[in-house]
């Protein structure tokens, strides 16, 4: 494979452009190198070009790990294509490594023969030692399997921005934009969207804006004017459904979905939350939208946040909170209060690796049991899971719709992978979003606080409504009147009524669909953020002639009414999840099917190849 070193630009003939259908690029460096920023810019530009995109930001778990160490590596992967894709890609076609640690952590994910761009300025003895290299990989031949380009990015950035007068420290911070400019040239991306972003972002510091722009243009010019690269690549726009699109992360989509739901209900939105990785961006996004009657409350702790949400629901607002696993544990008593008082609210759990503090910036699906079974007493509530970043919008609306219809708290599960990842989201027309009907009790002559409608829901009575004063609290309520009642028979009845109400949610759940044949040898089941990798693996397996189908579960409690029949139509069932088998055990218990598991708890999402390998193992390879 080729190895090229560049110290300065040399005139050259234009490199030929090769058409490709897709490419996956990863930017990796120290946590202070701005890799998330340039990855987001590359993503936004690719969306403007019209590609379908899927991203995977990978943050270090340490807030500020020592510079140059393996623990401090930050990465951002973007997969962009001319056709519809479901994942950010298993392995990357191009890797930009800003230091030795970034190279060591990310090199295993680079395809053989892939483009490897390294900042050679950072490969000094001290950085090599921090990255635990025994020798310099740029010199020992260990990178011969890749198209290696050794570029002194730091020095060339300093030279490019010299005219701004910035000191070496501030000027050196622009090196991420130099790398971005080079990546733009390599994949035929325009500079103008990022130029505009820089101008707006640094409008109050013109020297910094100028420096970042110069670095961006210098990186692009390197590709344009040297003979380092023999080929550049072009990915044509994807044929997406007509409409207006914007690039959206899962957390942003969740926030917008909650706002849309409140608007559809004609109610204010109250969001009470305590900051926690990786859910905090929901709080940040909602704080920007006060004009839509959004009230954001940053509580002193998770318990206070959940209790405030119960209070807001009692007062008649669309009430929601967001957290991750550790915060969910603290909220559980107050969630039980919402179940006992039968008040509508939404609890968003952006799952991360555990237990305890676990892996704060890494993804997992290990909170399913916690969501369904995590409270004291018989305390059921509905649980659904979003399947992709854009789907978080629809899932949030669906959670609110069920909460107010059945007067119950609802748990919406996402995870760090889809919360931080992004994809194109088609902005729906208002006519596509059905109103959310709200009915408040107003008639004191017929009012009973714990009477039931056809859905099993009790009346939603706003405090201060004349004649509707009633008891509220965590003690057991008497059927109908809502007075405190300790009798055994009443507790039995109320426990059944709360469970029956949640069970009735099944009437709002569509029958379980199957991608592929309705019956056969193997059914692969997924839920939450595993959708993309599983669906891609199934598509590939079916193209190769294998008898395999896919069922993705959106609702986990209750599950679709026909799910048992669907499962029993297949000889074998494989459940893919990023935990040790939580859904698999629930399916085995509920439907007595001998489900098998493919489980991964590495803080990373499934790769398509992992699922394909298990399918091949079960079915004996391609037909």
Q: What are phi and psi of 118, to 5 degrees?
A: -125, 150
pLDDT digits (tens, 9 = 90+) for 573-620: 999 999 999 999 999 999 999 999 999 999 999 999 999 999 999 998
Query: What tokens appear for 343 in the block?
Result: 């008040």
pLDDT band at 169; cut points 50, 70, 90 = very high
pLDDT (0 to 100) of residue 4: 54
Q: What is the structure's pLDDT at 5? A: 59
Q: Would you state the pLDDT for residue 1?
A: 47
- 368 in Cβ contact with 411 (< 8 Å): no
Interacting residues of 469 by C-beta distance below 8 A, sequence separation 6+: none
Read off the tokens for 324. Answer: 């991750």
Rounded alpha-carbon distances, angstroms, from residue 262 to 18, 257, 317 = 48, 9, 8
Q: How far apart are CA 155 and CA 358, in angstroms?
A: 39
* CB atoms near residue 230 (< 10 Å): 11
- Distance CA(409)–CA(380), nearest Å, equals 9
How is residue 476 annotated by DSSP?
P
Give the pLDDT of residue 15.
80
The pLDDT score that the predictor gives to residue 6 is 56
| Cα–Cα nearest to 61, from 18, 95, 105 | 105
Percent of the chain at pLDDT > 70 equals: 97
Confidence of residue 621 (pLDDT cuts 50, 70, 90): low
What is the per-residue pLDDT across 264-289, written as a single tens digit (0 to 9) for each?
Answer: 999 999 999 999 999 999 999 999 99
Spatial distance between the Cα atoms of 344 and 270, rounded to a whole number of angstroms: 12
Mean pLDDT of 518-530: 98
Question: Tell me, what's the pLDDT at 573?
Answer: 98
Scanning the structure block, which residue is given the tokens 């072009």? Answer: 234
CA 461 to chain centre: 36
- Per-residue buried b or exposed e for 351-383, using 16+ beta carbons within 10 Å of the residue's own CB: bbbbeeebbbbbbbbbbbebbbebbeeebbbbb
**DSSP E strand stretches across 50-153:** 52-58, 73-81, 92-97, 110-119, 147-151
pLDDT of 389 over the 50 cut: yes
253 exposed, middle or buried (CB, 10 Å; 0-12, 13-18, 19+)?
Answer: buried
Predicted confidence (pLDDT) at residue 484 exceeds the cutoff of 50:
yes
Q: Per the structure block, which two tokens stand in for 221?
A: 């010019």
pLDDT at 61 over 90: no
As a whole number, mean pLDDT of residues 394-402 equals 98
121, with CB counted inside 10 A (0-12, 13-18, 19+), is buried
Helix (H) or strand (E) holding 392: helix 391-406
Mean pLDDT, to the nearest integer, of 564-581? 98
Band (pLDDT 50/70/90 cuts) for residue 117 is very high
Average pLDDT over every residue of 181-205: 97
Pick the closest to residue 424 from 91, 81, 191, 177 (CA basis).
Answer: 81
pLDDT at 83 over 60: yes
Give mean pLDDT, residues 430-443.
96
Is the peptide bond preceding residue 159 cis, with omega within 30 degrees of 0?
Answer: no
Provide mean pLDDT across the span 121-148: 96
Cβ 256 vs Cβ 285: under 8 Å: yes
Q: Terminal CA-to-CA distance of the chain, rounded, Å?
A: 35
Percent over 90 (pLDDT), the chain:
93
Rounded Cα–Cα distance for residues 615 and 609 (Å): 10
Average pLDDT over residues 64-84: 93
Residue 347's SS3 state is: strand
d(CA 594, CA 25): 40
CA separation, residue 427 to residues 88, 220, 283 (Å): 22, 33, 21
Above 60 in pLDDT, residue 8?
A: no
- What ranges in 440-519 are assigned the alpha helix state H? 488-503
The mean per-residue pLDDT over the stretch 379-406 comes to: 98
Strand 548-553 with 232-235, pairing: unpaired
Are the CB atoms for 147 and 94 separated by under 8 Å?
Answer: no
The answer on pLDDT for 10 being more than 90 is no
Q: DSSP class of residue 278?
A: T
Count the Cβ atoms, other than its own, within 10 Å of residue 433: 15
User: Which stretch of DSSP H or E encloses residue 245?
Assistant: strand 245-249
Residue 227: band (very low, low, confident or very high) from pLDDT cuts 50, 70, 90: confident
The pLDDT score that the predictor gives to residue 13 is 64
């Amino acid at each position: 494979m080729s190895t090229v070193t560049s110290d300065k630009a040399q005139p050259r003939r234009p490199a030929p452009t090769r058409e490709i259908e897709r490419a996956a690029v990863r930017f990796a460096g120290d946590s202070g190198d701005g890799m998330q920023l340039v990855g987001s810019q590359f993503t936004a530009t690719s969306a403007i070009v019209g590609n379908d995109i899927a991203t995977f930001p990978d943050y270090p778990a340490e807030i500020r790990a020592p510079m140059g160490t393996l623990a401090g590596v930050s990465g951002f992967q973007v997969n962009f294509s001319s056709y519809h894709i479901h994942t950010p890609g298993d392995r990357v076609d191009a890797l930009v490594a800003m230091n030795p640690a970034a190279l060591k952590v990310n090199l295993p994910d680079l395809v053989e023969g892939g483009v490897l761009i390294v900042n050679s300025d950072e490969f000094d003895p001290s950085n090599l030692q921090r990255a635990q290299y025994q020798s310099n990989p740029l010199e020992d031949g260990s990178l011969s399997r890749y198209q290696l380009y050794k570029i002194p990015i730091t020095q060339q950035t300093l030279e490019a921005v010299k005219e701004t007068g910035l000191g070496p420290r501030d000027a050196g911070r622009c090196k991420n934009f130099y790398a971005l400019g080079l990546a733009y040239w390599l994949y035929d991306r325009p500079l103008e969207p990022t130029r505009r972003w820089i101008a707006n972002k640094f409008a109050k510091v013109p020297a910094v804006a100028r420096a970042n722009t110069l670095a961006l243009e210098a990186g692009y010019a390197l590709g344009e004017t040297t003979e380092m690269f023999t080929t550049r690549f072009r990915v044509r726009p994807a044929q997406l459904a007509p409409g207006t699109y914007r690039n959206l992360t899962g957390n942003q989509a969740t926030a917008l979905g909650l706002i849309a739901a409140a608007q559809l209900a004609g109610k204010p939105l109250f969001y009470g939350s305590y900051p926690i990785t990786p859910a905090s961006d929901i709080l940040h996004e909602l704080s920007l939208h006060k004009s839509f009657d959004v009230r954001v409350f940053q509580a002193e702790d998770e318990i206070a946040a959940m209790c405030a949400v119960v209070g807001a629901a009692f007062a008649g607002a669309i009430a929601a909170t967001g957290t991750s696993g550790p915060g969910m544990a603290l909220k559980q008593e107050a969630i039980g209060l919402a179940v006992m008082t039968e008040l509508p609210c939404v609890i968003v759990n952006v799952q991360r690796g555990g237990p305890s503090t676990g892996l704060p910036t890494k993804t997992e699906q290990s909170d399913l049991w916690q969501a369904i079974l995590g409270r004291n007493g018989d305390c059921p509530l509905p649980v659904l899971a979003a399947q992709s970043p854009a789907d978080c919008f629809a899932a949030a609306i669906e959670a609110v719709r069920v909460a107010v219809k059945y007067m119950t708290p609802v748990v919406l599960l996402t995870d760090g992978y889809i919360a931080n990842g992004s994809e194109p989201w088609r902005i729906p027309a208002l006519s596509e979003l059905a109103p959310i009907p709200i009915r408040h009790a107003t008639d004191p002559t017929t009012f009973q606080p714990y009477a039931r409608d056809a859905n099993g829901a009790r009346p939603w009575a706003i405090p201060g409504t004349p004649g509707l004063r009633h008891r509220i609290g965590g003690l057991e309520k008497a059927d109908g009147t809502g007075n405190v009642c300790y009798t055994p028979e009443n507790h039995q009845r109320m426990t059944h009524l709360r469970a029956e109400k949640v069970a009735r949610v099944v009437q709002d759940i569509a029958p379980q669909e199957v991608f592929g044949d309705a019956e056969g040898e193997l059914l692969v089941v997924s839920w939450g953020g595993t959708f993309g990798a599983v669906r891609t693996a199934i598509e590939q397996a079916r193209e190769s002639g294998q008898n395999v189908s896919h069922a993705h579960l959106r609702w986990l409690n209750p599950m679709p009414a026909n799910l048992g029949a669907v499962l029993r139509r297949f000889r074998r069932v494989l459940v893919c999840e990023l935990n040790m088998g939580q859904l698999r055990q629930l399916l085995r218990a509920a439907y007595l099917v001998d489900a098998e598991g493919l489980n991964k708890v590495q803080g990373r999402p499934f790769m398509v190849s992992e699922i394909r390998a298990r399918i091949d193992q079960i079915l004996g390879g391609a037909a």
